[in-house]
A = this chain, B = another copy of it.
Amino acid sequence: MAMEAVNLKKKQCKIVVAVDESAESMYALSWCLSNLISQATINTLVLLYVKPPPPVYSSLDVAGYIFSGDMIRALEAYGNDLVNSVMGRAEDICGKFSSNIKVDRIVGSGDARDVICNIVDKIKADTLVMGSHGYGFFKRAILGSVSDHCAKHVKCPVVIVKHPEKI
């Protein structure tokens, strides 16, 4: 299908960029904007942020911590602030590049590996762009790299971008 679409004048192109708090994911977004956005296509850029799953709170309960309703609301508010901060930064970066882009936001919740794969397939994205790290050293050691998993399971082409300063 994609092969045939190549010959059309103005094809639609939907690119998902997985963003998080890391400088690397912002670098991946910049790379995408300067290398994957073509004037020959109608581009939709989907900024995808995945919040950790809610069971994080209950596992803390089991360990003996008791959270008041206020505390849980405060944690949730912090989570929402984080989403807005990351999305805001990402949109600022988009604004510095071509105006030939429609920018959408999707906020998912759960295991980043599964959520990213599911959303990319569900919205029929043409390309997924993401940093190679993200989610910290320990989580990666236990769960495996998010980008490895997505490169294996997502149907569309996957671009894995490393932050040049961290190599």
Q: B6 near A30 (CB under 8 angstroms)? A: yes
A40 to chain B, nearest CB (A): 9
Chain B residues with CB under 8 Å of A31's CB are 2, 157
Q: How many residues of chain A get a CB closer than 8 Å to chain B's CBs? A: 29
CB within 8 Å for A157 and B159 given contacts A3-B27, A35-B36, A151-B148: yes
Number of copies: 2
CB within 8 Å for A157 and B148 given contacts A3-B27, A6-B30, A30-B6: no
Of the listed residues A147, A160, A162, the one surrounded by the most CB atoms of chain B closer than 10 A to its CB is: A160
CB within 8 Å for A36 and B34 given contacts A151-B147, A157-B159: no
Q: B35 near A164 (CB under 8 angstroms)? A: no
Q: A151 near B160 (CB under 8 angstroms)? A: yes
A127 at the interface (CB under 8 A from B): yes
* Residue interface mask A118-130, B partner, CB < 8 A = 1: 0000000001000
Would you list 28 pairs from A and B whose C-beta atoms are within 8 A, ordered by A residue? A1-B164, A2-B31, A2-B164, A3-B27, A3-B30, A3-B164, A28-B157, A35-B36, A35-B38, A35-B127, A35-B157, A36-B36, A38-B38, A132-B151, A147-B151, A148-B148, A148-B152, A151-B160, A155-B162, A157-B159, A157-B160, A157-B161, A157-B162, A158-B159, A158-B160, A159-B159, A159-B160, A160-B160
